């Protein structure tokens, strides 16, 4: 099987302005599995409920709320029903000033280098929360306009968000142990995604980090918020869901193709994860063009 990478290699925006807004309107479930990128990502939920997992933090982001995802953070985004959300993705370098003044050296540079991190979820009620949300909405609207001033306007608005957060001491300092855990778990998840269709033993995963399996299980759960077995089952179910929507393969065959050795166990785990049995899921979410 071709070796995969959790790192997203998409080019966001243009070389002169690496910034893009991805607006997603979904009538059904939405899921983007664990990945990471060098860009910062601000997600604003216009409607519905998005579940965002950043490392071990599981956050329900509801209508009108937002979440910040830092460069290098391992994250997953999903919803279980209709939703509208906007992902503002940009390379942190666009925030830099050429002239190394006080604000560049003490605020902007530490942010672009990753030493200062955005709070993943700003749970603040009232005017401040609304002010940040309004600025994110402004960025989304500016991005839709065609103007030679759009890039400058976007940059100014992003800096206003930074100013508001910094003024309230909401930026977090990078913790070395967090970075180390991120890199370790990226290695494990990459292995799982490369080998999900085969038998995966806890000993195999633990050996990647030179740990015994009991300590590894606790370590993985601390970072991801679920056990290794739970994550493997969920990933296999997501791969099964893709096949159910895009192929005519039998459910039994799909269960073995994605790594389940017991068909009944697959049915049970799939229903736990996706809320429908495989057959029900195929009927409800079939996206194939049956007219051909």
Backbone angles phi, psi at 253, to 5 degrees: -65, -40
| Predicted TM-score (pTM) of this structure | 0.81
Identify whether residues 85 and 133 lie together within a single domain: yes
Among residues 173, 200, 234, the one where a domain terminates is 173
Identify whether residues 163 and 222 lie together within a single domain: no
Identify whether residues 164 and 207 lie together within a single domain: no
What is the pLDDT tens value at each position of the chain, 292 positions in all? 445 556 666 667 788 899 999 999 998 889 998 888 999 999 999 999 999 988 778 899 999 999 999 998 989 999 988 999 999 999 999 999 999 999 999 999 999 998 999 987 766 778 898 999 999 999 999 999 888 899 999 999 999 999 999 999 999 988 777 778 888 999 999 999 999 999 999 999 999 999 999 999 999 998 888 899 999 999 999 999 999 999 999 999 999 999 999 999 999 999 999 999 999 999 987 755 443 3
> What is the tens place of the pLDDT at every residue in 193-248?
999 999 999 999 999 999 999 999 999 998 888 899 999 999 999 999 999 999 99
Instruction: Count Cβ atoms below 10 Å from residue 145 Cβ, excluding itself.
Output: 10
Is residue 277 a contact partner of residue 270, using CB atoms and an 8 Å limit?
Answer: yes
Q: Name the 3-class secondary structure at 108.
A: helix
Identify whether residues 129 and 195 lie together within a single domain: no
Give the C-alpha separation, 135 to 161, whole Å. Answer: 7
Residue 55's region, left for phi above 0, alpha for psi from -120 to 50, else beta, is: left
Q: How far is CA 231 from CA 37, 93, 224, 226, in A?
A: 21, 34, 9, 6
Q: Is 230 within the bounds of a domain?
A: yes
pLDDT for position 284: 85
What is the Cα 232 distance to its own chain's centre? Answer: 17
Identify whether residues 163 and 183 lie together within a single domain: no
Among residues 108, 142, 173, the one where a domain terminates is 173
pLDDT for position 122: 63
CATH number at residue 59: 2.60.120.280
pLDDT for position 118: 94
Identify whether residues 248 and 136 lie together within a single domain: no
Q: Which residues constitute the domain of residue 160?
A: 19-173
Identify whether residues 204 and 166 lie together within a single domain: no
Residues in the chain: 292
Helices assigned H by DSSP within the chain: 102-103, 109-112, 127-144, 150-167, 176-195, 202-208, 213-224, 228-246, 251-257, 263-274, 278-285
Q: Is 84 within the bounds of a domain?
A: yes
The residues pairing with 41 across neighbouring beta strands, listed in sequence order, are 69, 89
pLDDT for position 42: 97
Domain count within the chain: 2
Among residues 120, 143, 173, the one where a domain terminates is 173
Identify whether residues 167 and 198 lie together within a single domain: no
Identify whether residues 221 and 83 lie together within a single domain: no
């Amino acid at each position: 099987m071709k070796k995969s990478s959790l790192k997203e290699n998409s080019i966001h925006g243009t070389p002169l302005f690496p910034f893009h807004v991805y607006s997603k309107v979904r009538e059904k479930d939405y899921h983007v599995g664990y990945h990471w990128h060098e860009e910062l990502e601000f997600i604003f939920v216009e409607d519905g409920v998005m579940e965002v997992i950043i490392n071990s933090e599981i956050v329900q982001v509801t209508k009108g709320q937002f979440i910040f995802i830092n460069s290098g953070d391992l994250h997953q985004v999903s919803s279980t029903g209709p939703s509208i959300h906007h992902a503002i993705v940009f390379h942190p370098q666009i925030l830099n000033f050429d002239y190394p003044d006080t604000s560049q050296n003490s605020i902007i540079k530490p942010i672009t280098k990753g030493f200062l991190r955005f709070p993943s979820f700003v749970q603040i009620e009232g005017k401040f929360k609304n002010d940040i949300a309004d600025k994110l909405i402004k960025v989304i609207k500016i991005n839709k306009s065609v103007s030679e001033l759009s890039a400058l306007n976007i940059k100014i608005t992003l800096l206003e968000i930074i100013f508001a957060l910094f003024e309230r001491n909401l930026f977090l300092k990078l913790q070395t142990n967090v970075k180390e855990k991120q890199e370790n778990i990226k290695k494990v998840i990459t292995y799982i995604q490369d080998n999900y269709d085969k038998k995966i033993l806890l000993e195999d995963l633990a050996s990647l980090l030179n740990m015994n399996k009991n300590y590894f299980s606790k370590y993985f759960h601390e970072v991801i918020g679920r056990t290794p077995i739970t994550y493997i089952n969920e990933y296999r179910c997501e791969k099964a869901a893709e096949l159910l929507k895009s192929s005519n393969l039998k459910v039994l065959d799909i269960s073995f193709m994605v790594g389940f050795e017991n068909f009944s166990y697959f049915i049970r785990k799939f229903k736990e994860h996706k809320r429908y049995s495989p057959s029900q899921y195929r009927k409800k979410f079939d996206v194939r063009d049956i007219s051909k």
